């Protein structure tokens, strides 16, 4: 039996890999503080989404996804700093991928809130 694809899990995992690669670039340029912050927030998005898959209730599921959404916002902050700061490598399409994750997360949260309110 083929496992059903979970788009948010897949996107957040691929995003975490992109963040790891980008943070390697930052480390090579001795941008250690931003690299560490970005690595933590960017990889915790997927970790929180994965944790939500084993939630104890709908409320717990929504709560864990809201934590992931907060990590999305923090990650955007670090990426914006990199984009706007001189002597930092361009994060290329990483912010675009993060925007897709944010939209999907917000849709899932809103849908689950509506379903649980019924």
Mean pLDDT of 38-54: 98
Angstrom CA distances, 67 to 26, 44, 51, 63, 71, stand at 26, 9, 11, 6, 6
Residue 63, pLDDT score? 98
Mean pLDDT of 63-68: 98
The topology under which CATH files domain 7-117 is de novo design (two linked rop proteins) (1.20.1440)
Q: Write the CB contacts of 44 (distance below 8 Å, at least 6 apart in sequence).
A: 68, 71
Q: How confident is the model over 69-101, as pLDDT tens digits?
A: 999 999 999 999 999 999 999 999 999 999 999
* Domain locations in the chain as residue ranges: 7-117
Q: Contact at 8 Å (CB) between 100 and 49? A: no
Q: Write the CB contacts of 76 (distance below 8 Å, at least 6 apart in sequence).
A: 95, 98, 102
Q: Is residue 68 predicted with pLDDT exceeding 90?
A: yes
Helix (H, G, I), strand (E, B) or coil at 58: helix
Q: Is residue 112 predicted with pLDDT exceeding 90?
A: yes
């Amino acid at each position: 039996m083929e496992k059903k694809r979970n788009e948010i899990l897949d996107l957040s995992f691929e995003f975490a890999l992109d963040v790891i690669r980008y943070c390697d670039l930052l480390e090579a340029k001795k941008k250690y503080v931003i690299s560490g912050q970005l690595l933590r927030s960017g990889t915790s998005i997927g970790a929180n989404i994965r944790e939500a898959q084993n939630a104890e209730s709908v409320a717990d599921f929504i709560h864990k996804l809201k934590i992931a959404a907060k990590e999305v916002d923090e990650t955007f902050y670090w990426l914006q700093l990199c984009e706007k700061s001189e002597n930092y490598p361009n994060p290329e399409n990483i912010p675009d991928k993060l925007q897709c994750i944010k939209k999907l997360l917000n849709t899932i949260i809103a849908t689950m809130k509506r379903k649980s309110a019924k």
